[in-house]
Amino acid sequence: AQVTVGMWNSDLNLVEQLNLSLLTSFHTMNASKFIKCVTVGDGAVGKTCMLICYTSNKFPTDYIPTVFDNFSANVAVDGSIVNLGLWDTAGTGSFPLESSFSKNCVLIVHHPLTLDTLFTVLKGQEDYSRLRPLSYRGADIFVLAFSLISRASYENVLKKWMPELRRFAPNVPIVLVGTKLDLREDRGYLGDHMGSNVITSAEGEELRKQIGAAAYIECSSKTQQNVKAVFDTAIKVVLQPPRRKEMARKKRHRRSGCSFV
């Protein structure tokens, strides 16, 4: 892939322009509808691995990049063909890229599939936290992930990620995903990690209700269980959003004794 490096300006104008250009390139593709899906969540919960597994139909065993190259492809779901754009974000403070680049710079990777991937190599958590929300612009759906074997990542959904998402993208629906399902059910792993406090399906569903997520799915990238279902569900949520106003109207009419035919 071709790589271009440019200095990052503190006023964020460069980054904002790059982000807008990425959206423009996505929307010019031929598709009945474009859906921008952004994955968020703590570092090491398996977001990037899940994306690689979904797009390649295999579990990466050799090298797993810190952040997945933005990907776009036509996807058929329930008879509808959409162009699904997948955006990855890093849950930690910076991308551990070994390079001679300046600490405060922007790294743009021109993806061979006509996509532009924007990475930021930043000095610390404060800088990255300030820039990360730029990737939320134009998002149609968030896939908010936590690890089923990490109580901290589960708790951070409410403590960290929901406040950020609702601040910068208050009306974008969310699919909540519990990753590493295979390890939660792996007796060998649990035996080697006696202190593990795994998250149950009931706890995941309760969290979904708390944050108002459209769906909750548990998956395993290693076994590929439910990985496709995660993104199929995300697409369906965008294509068939809940008709909240209509549901509320019907509820009011039921209370008043009216019926619908």
Look at residue 60 in the predicted model and tell me its pLDDT.
80
34-41 vs 80-87, strand pairing mode: parallel
Look at residue 99 in the predicted model and tell me its pLDDT.
28
Look at residue 94 in the predicted model and tell me its pLDDT.
30
Helices (H), ranges, the chain: 13-27, 47-56, 125-131, 151-156, 162-168, 181-184, 187-192, 201-211, 227-239, 244-255
Residue 214 CA to residue 241 CA, distance in Å, equals: 9
Give the chain's end-to-end CA distance (angstroms, integer). Answer: 58
Q: Coil, strand, or helix at residue 34?
A: strand
Look at residue 54 in the predicted model and tell me its pLDDT.
94
Neighbours of 91 (CB within 10 A): 20
Look at residue 67 in the predicted model and tell me its pLDDT.
56
- For tokens 């969290």, name the residue: 207
Look at residue 104 in the predicted model and tell me its pLDDT.
34
Neighbour-count burial for 177-187, b at 16+ CB within 10 Å, e otherwise: bbbbbbbbebe
> Tokens for 61?
């065993």
Look at residue 249 in the predicted model and tell me its pLDDT.
52
Look at residue 254 in the predicted model and tell me its pLDDT.
60
pTM of the model: 0.72
Look at residue 19 in the predicted model and tell me its pLDDT.
53
Look at residue 39 in the predicted model and tell me its pLDDT.
95
DSSP-assigned beta bridge partners for residue 116: 110
Look at residue 192 in the predicted model and tell me its pLDDT.
83
What is the CATH superfamily name and number for domain 2-255?
A: P-loop containing nucleotide triphosphate hydrolases (3.40.50.300)
Ranges under pLDDT 70 in the chain: 1-31, 63-69, 91-128, 242-261
Amino acid at the residue 96:
P
